Amino acid sequence: MAKNIINILRTNHITVAFVAQESGLDVAQVNKVLQRPVATWSIQILNALADALGERPGELLEQIQDFPFQLQTDDGQLTIQHVQFQTLSSYQQVRFAVESNVLEGWEPTAKEVRMLREAAENPDDEMASEIERLFGDRDE
């Protein structure tokens, strides 16, 4: 569930007056905005709140909006979280890894899936050799 912005400000000992001062708005205007749904806020307000909290606006937005996670895969299009894969093999490899970790609570972003796709489609032989050396057959 999304955190209430007023509670976030209180937890961080930040007043609405401070946010207003930082944004160049008056306190009444900021109070009025904070009573409205997040979707109606201006970028100026979001930036002022994020700045006052020492966070990036996107990070703050993720905390205060309620976006339920949904893993999106499409076997026909070879996509995971709308990230297109070039081969069925790399798609299946990454999909298995992603689904396994989602069951453990991970909520992958498209950016993270792109990184996994890159590793699957363009493996680093040097890294693979090092992993094999570290975790390979231990019976030797």
Give me the domain span that covers residue 84. 73-135
- Residues 79 and 45 reside in one and the same domain: no
Output b/e per residue, 67-94; b: 16+ Cβ within 10 A.
eeeeeebeeeebbbbebebeeeebbebb
Question: Is residue 89, in this structure, part of any structural domain at all?
Answer: yes
Question: Is residue 82, in this structure, part of any structural domain at all?
Answer: yes
Kindly report whether the global pTM for this prediction surpasses the value 0.75.
no
- Residues 85 and 46 reside in one and the same domain: no
Question: Is residue 102, in this structure, part of any structural domain at all?
Answer: yes
- Residues 59 and 80 reside in one and the same domain: no
The predicted-structure confidence for 68-113, as pLDDT tens digits, reads as follows: 889 999 999 999 999 999 999 999 999 999 999 999 999 999 999 9
Q: Which of these three, 42, 64, 86, is where a domain ends?
A: 64
- Residues 92 and 122 reside in one and the same domain: yes
- Residues 50 and 19 reside in one and the same domain: yes
- Residues 93 and 115 reside in one and the same domain: yes
The residue with tokens 């996670």 is 69
What is the band of 1 on the pLDDT scale with cuts at 50, 70, 90?
very low
- Residues 54 and 82 reside in one and the same domain: no
CATH code for the domain in which residue 51 is found: 1.10.260
Half-sphere exposure of 67 (CA within 13 A, CB side): 15
Report the number of distinct structural domains present in the chain.
2
Question: Is residue 140, in this structure, part of any structural domain at all?
Answer: no
Name the token pair of 23: 């944004």
What is the band of 3 on the pLDDT scale with cuts at 50, 70, 90?
low
Residue 74 belongs to what H/E stretch? strand 73-74
The predicted-structure confidence for 16-75, as pLDDT tens digits, reads as follows: 999 988 888 889 988 998 888 888 898 989 999 999 999 999 989 988 887 788 999 999
Q: Which of these three, 29, 45, 64, is where a domain ends?
A: 64
What is the band of 134 on the pLDDT scale with cuts at 50, 70, 90?
confident
